[in-house]
Structure 1
Amino acid sequence: MYDLIVIGGGPAGYTGALEAANLDKKVLLIEKSKLGGTCLNSGCIPTKSLLHSSKLFKKISNLNDLGVVSRETIFDLSKAIEWKDLKVSQLQQGLSALIKSKKIDVEYGDARLLGNKVVEVDGKKLKGENILIAAGSKSLIPNIKGSNNHLCLTSRSILNLKEIPNNLVIIGAGVIGLEFASIFSSIGSNVTVLEYNNQLLPSIEKRVSSIFLKAIDFTIKLGVTVSEITNNSVIFKWQNNQESLAADKVLIATGRIPNSKEYESIGVVESGRIKVDEYMRTNLDGVFAAGDVTGKTFLAHGGIKMAEIAVNNMFNPLSKMNYDLIPSIIYSEPEIATVGITLREAKERGKDILKSNYYLNNNGRYLVENGFKDGLCIVIADKESRIILGAHIIGTDVSEIISNFVIAVKQELTIDQLKQIIFPHPTMSEIFSDTIKFL
């Protein structure tokens, strides 16, 4: 018998397996395809590779003002795809080696949880003292006429395009849609994003989303209902008018849904997701779940923390999950990075707050190195306790400074404590300290 059987080899799954192995537990990891899951193979990592390539191309094309003058630069998408595939392969090899070094058993195939802590993999029955379901998620394909024709792509298939489409229509203005819009608009596509909701990124500070809308070099239409995808266009209703857009390719980026259907028969699924409590426990003894399959968060780092908490709660005193501590990043140009609560959420919770707005161009390092001039950092603190509650940043490469705010929110650090920290000058990390000074 295994101490732990993990179903799913993505970030939540392999993290859970490694955490248990570090506690000298006997672990089995079951994966139906490739270790690393969606994130490594067709999500976080490959998209960041293409984003990096596209951002470099855009930067190189606009370097004359910095004294770097070059002849015409072209973007070779097939080469960028090759680079992406190489880096994904290297990470796959590293992950496999790490799992092997920890003496974790791996089975490949479709897993089925039979109950009584028995898991079946391609006819083989295996038993574990604990089960961690980390089965991930899949793309949500809406019921739109023509959504299965040759123009249509998912976030997985678009990663292997060999040619840059002249006209790319993206259905959905969430993280996935906006990141691919940034990639393809930067390398020459005419990109239009169609979004059903009337507000862009409703979970983001309104001022941040407003700056984003003004900064992007692609078109976003809000309040759109798509009715049909033809062989060369997308037909939709917008502002009470029937319209159409020419399209060489159509990316359907309307979100993701948990891979939970296979678990309905054992009674752990509610509203299309595996229901867990704050300790990552399902309603079955010894059965835990983490990551996308719970519907709590569709972010890899959120799933990783959920898995860590789940494994800790199997073998140690109980610890709880705090979803306010999960940072969220859109790796577009400009980037958006957030952690903690928004001004609206603070008001809903009855908080009396302090707020600081810091313009990133006031940071010397940011100003001389970055082209985006409207960067902003908003920090929220509790007025009575002076504890940092949240941070919301828009600008170039701000994903690299949000972690300072994550630590502040997690440790419930006060404004006065943070003012004691000395940051090196000139660095972008000073954005953190300078924003705090104005609270």
Structure 2
Amino acid sequence: MDRQQEFVLRTIEERDIRFVRIWFTDVLGTLKSVAIAPAELEGAFAEGIGFDGSSIEGFARVFEADMLLLPDASTFQVLPWRGESPSTARMFADIRMPDGTPSPADPRTVLGRAMNTASEQGFTFYTHPEIEFYLFKPDVEPGQPPVPVDQAGFFDHVPYGTAHDFRRAAITRLEQMGISVEFSHHEGGPGQNEIDLRYADALSTADNIMTFRAIVKETALERGVFASFMPKPLLGQPGSAMHTHLSLFDGDSNAFYEAGAPYQLSKTGRQFIAGLLVHAGEICAVTNQWVNSYKRIWSGGEAPAHVCWGHNNRSAMVRVPMHKPGKEQSVRAEVRSIDSAANPYLAYSVLLAAGLKGIAEGYELPPEAEDDVWGLTDRERRAMGIKPLPGSLDAALTEMEESELVAETLGEHVFDFFLRNKQAEWASYREQVTQFELDQYLKQL
């Protein structure tokens, strides 16, 4: 037993923790949980916890159902919304096959494998997400849009506002669980909020995002509202993004930094961004995995719909933020296409793989987009070599299906399940008769 596991067992005894929840996600990024008694934890560390993988989306077929949860002691935290005595704690788990080998269906394993590839090249992959979400009133009339908790806008200060108190409570809980928050504010849509997490390695960030979603939803329910990470819940209002800042470090040095280079962006950084652009269409189904995701991308505003990069250009898919003198560590790339409903483990895996491919193949970064890309005509964008992102989940899946990069990154099991699940989602969506169609055609035809 290692020191972290010993620390967990000692803390459980000292803090009168009676329930330990083991967390993991399915292929689509849905949080799963099983509670065990503290007396069972030592055995779980040594041998894992058996469960029926065939009951979880994308994990196993019926004839190969037996799987194991192996708790990761480094992720142990007491749940602040279960702070009464006796307390409840949680740990994330890695999924193992009965013989102890990593499960090919575990999203956490997929990201760990991608990060190991980066490590073999001397890099550590860091991410910093800006997570947007909406707060709605609890009662939604059938067939009616949800009602936001306020009518405030970007950066508005709302005295005694629900969102104001909500963000304070949620951030307090995040920090109690060791998750550092950098900024928080009201976003552009009514009832829309943003909370930005601090930089961490990508695996820690993905764990933090799953914890973040749980905390946001728990905190909202306690306040009589509900929180949604749906990419585009309201017509005519901004969608919810998860803009993510990315960088590679070689030891303590930022591999994206080069003194004197344009925007202080190194050759490695330029090649990494070029990889994101070259493979943007192939990875889009993973970073934007829902039918509704494409309503956000193609609704205008600051949502990027075209494959390009720019310096402080918020209409571009990839932005290179302004470098602060003396802050070499801050040189980074910001991917603005990813939305808040993505599975962070898989999304960060394909972003990393695309960037590393750009480095390995020596991709050339095209000229930056200096104009508002949304303000250009289709002809102007074509003349500049700016391609569109996929216009629908169906189009994104078509590109993903032909992608060797995505198949290799996700592994055969996750790749096949993800495609089949999302193709079924598109087929179901395509059959729907929407209110738009009824309003447009019912009395005209």
Please give the TM-score of this superposition, normalised by the length of structure 2. 0.29
Q: Which has the higher helix share?
A: 2
